[in-house]
Amino acid sequence: MEKCAVFAGGLHPTPAPNQISGPSRTTSVKLLPTPFAERTHFSPFSPKFPKLSSHSATYSSSNINGNPIRMASPQTSSVTSELDDIDWDNLGFGFMSTDYMYVMKCSQGEEFSKGELQRFGNIELSPSAGILNYGQGLFEGLKAYRKHDGNILLFRPEENASRLRMGAERMCMPSPTVEQFVEAVKFTVLANERWIPPPGKGSLYIRPLLMGSGAVLGLAPAPEYTFLIYVSPVGNYFKEGLAPINLIVETEMHRATPGGTGGVKTIGNYAAVLKAQSAAKAKGYSDVLYLDSVHKKYLEEVSSCNVFIVKGNVISTPSIKGTILPGITRKSIIDVALSQGFQVEEREVTVDELLNADEVFCTGTAVVVSPVGSITYLGKRVTYGEDGIGRVSQQLYSALTSLQMGLTEDKMGWIMELK
């Protein structure tokens, strides 16, 4: 569903230079800047300036010929960092390639220690790589916002870091420490700073990947691992106010099973939901709401979003028990709702309760809060509210997005400022 997309697309092919849809990069590139000048701040990483790859044609080569990143300051002041030809008002949610990606590798049994920024581009993998053959891979998703005062804000990045660590444990992969993850995210965002939309126009979507990149043939954990971060500017999901989505409850297919990997952000969970999602979209629905695979009675979640129901002053959401992805937006909405005086329950929620709720909404990084206008279950359609946009959904959406964009005081201590 559009509204809850998590950009689960994984590694998109890099467009050939002449197909790049973003801003033209024939103007002088002015990257490098402050963050690199202060590189000691980024230890333990010692990023190297990327080698130019086959992409060189896309960039002005004058100031990037393999110079170390720290060269920055003197030269960079003369280059422009503005992307004048990008239409910030019409940013969608598609992938757009940017300047740099972060790459860090380690062997099985070792720990990640040193990463570097590279020019964004295709990566090389053995056809026998663990991720390609056996799906040994995880992804994360978070956003950076540009604030009016010029600062750049991240929202709870250490939560993504620890979720990746939990997933890595389940998938038999080494993972960066929380500190390494957060530093790498900061580093990547600052290196791609010019791609962060102006305040109010959207955000920089950050996509960390952890994958078994070494070659294996017999089923086993890969011998080598790659942690990679790329970013892409995205618009706000709801440009003209919240728009409700229409969900269909899936009664045949399941997203996750007890003991499986539904609770971690492993890449394999996403290809498995495409069929039900495509069928739902073909019938005009926005996405699928999954039920538990044992009783087919309790709500789990949408393909890539968590679900909440509102009844009076009580907000309920299915409890985390291995088959539901522990969303950071979910967790944050629970705390915001509690702080606003709602009663919040994490428990088993039945389809009956869903159909009798006052309001239903979904949460995820991409949408933040997405109101549900209708639910269809076994051919019966239930609609919510007048226009499908409940008061509570609206209120929680405003509260959380204002916090994320730095418009309200961060009493929760959730915002990390990068400057």
Ligand X SMILES: *Cc1c(COP(=O)(O)O)cnc(C)c1O
Tokens 């990045």, located at residue: 157
Torsion of CA 131, 136, 141, 144, to 10 degrees: -60
Give min distance, CB of 144 to ligand X, in A: 14
- The reply to whether 265 sits near ligand X by the rule CB under 6 A is yes
**Per-residue DSSP letter, 18:** G
Query: Residue 1 CB, nearest distance to ligand X (Å)?
Result: 12
Length of the chain: 419
Position 148, amino acid: H
- The residue within the footprint of ligand X, chosen from 35, 202, 263, 364 (CB under 6 A), is 364
Among 365, 370, 376, 393, binds ligand X (CB under 6 A): 365
For residues 16 to 45, the per-residue mask of contacts with ligand X, x marking binding by CB under 6 A and - elsewhere, is: ------------------------------
Q: 384 near 313, Cβ under 8 Å? A: no
Binding of residue 330 to ligand X (CB under 6 A): yes
Quote the CA–CA distance of 399 and 411 in Å, as a whole number. Answer: 12
CB 194 within 8 A of CB 81: yes
CB 400 to ligand X: min, Å: 10
Is residue 153 within 8 A of residue 202, CB to CB? The reply is no
HSE-CB at 219 with a 13 A cutoff on CA atoms is: 3
Task: Give the CB-side neighbour count of residue 294, counting CA atoms within 13 A.
Answer: 8
Contact in structure between 65 and 176 (CB atoms under 8 Å): no
Choose the stretch contacting ligand X; rule: CB under 6 A; options: 103-111, 165-173, 236-244, 360-368: 360-368
Contact with ligand X (CB under 6 A) among 64, 168, 185, 325: 325
Q: Compare residues 215 and 253 and give the one whose CB is closer to ligand X.
A: 253
279-308 positions binding ligand X, by CB under 6 A: 301, 304-306
Residue among 242, 288, 328, 396 that touches ligand X (CB under 6 A): 328
Give how far Cα 84 sits from Cα of 9, 25, 27, 234, Å.
28, 11, 10, 16
Q: Is 189 near ligand X (CB under 6 A)?
A: no
Residues 127-146 contacting ligand X, CB under 6 A: 141
Nearest distance from C-beta of residue 47 to ligand X, angstroms: 27
Nearer to ligand X, 117 or 289 (CB): 289
Of the pair 6, 131, the CB lying nearest ligand X is at 6
* Coil vs helix vs strand at 26: coil
Query: Which CB sits closer to ligand X, 72 or 184?
Result: 184
In the complex with ligand X, the residue whose CB is nearer, 99 or 300, is 300
Q: Which is nearer to ligand X, 14 or 332 (CB)?
A: 332
Beta carbon of residue 38, minimum distance to ligand X (angstroms, whole number)? 30
Give the E-state strand segments of 312-393 in sequence order. 314-318, 343-347, 359-364, 368-377, 380-383
User: Would you name the residues annotated as active-site residues?
Assistant: 265
Nearest approach, Cβ of 148 to ligand X (angstroms)? 25
Residues of this chain, 59-88, that bind ligand X according to CB under 6 A: none
- Near ligand X by CB under 6 A: residue from 5, 6, 190, 396: 6
Contact status: 404 vs ligand X (CB under 6 A): no
Q: What are phi and psi of 396, to 5 degrees?
A: -70, -35
**In terms of C-beta density within 10 A (0-12 exposed, 13-18 middle, 19 or more buried), how is residue 108 classed?**
middle
Site string for ligand X, 212-251 (x = CB under 6 A): ----------------------------------------
Supply the minimum distance, in Å, between the C-beta of residue 298 and ligand X: 16
Q: How many CB atoms lie within 10 A of CB 34?
A: 13
Helix (H, G, I), strand (E, B) or coil at 47: coil
**Nearest alpha carbon to residue 173 among 216, 232, 126, 115:** 216
> Which of 380, 379, 382, 415 has its CA nearest to residue 400?
415
Options 56-64, 245-253, 288-296, 324-332: segment touching ligand X (CB under 6 A)? 324-332
Q: Which residues bind ligand X (CB under 6 A)?
A: 6, 141, 265, 301, 304-306, 325, 327-330, 363-365
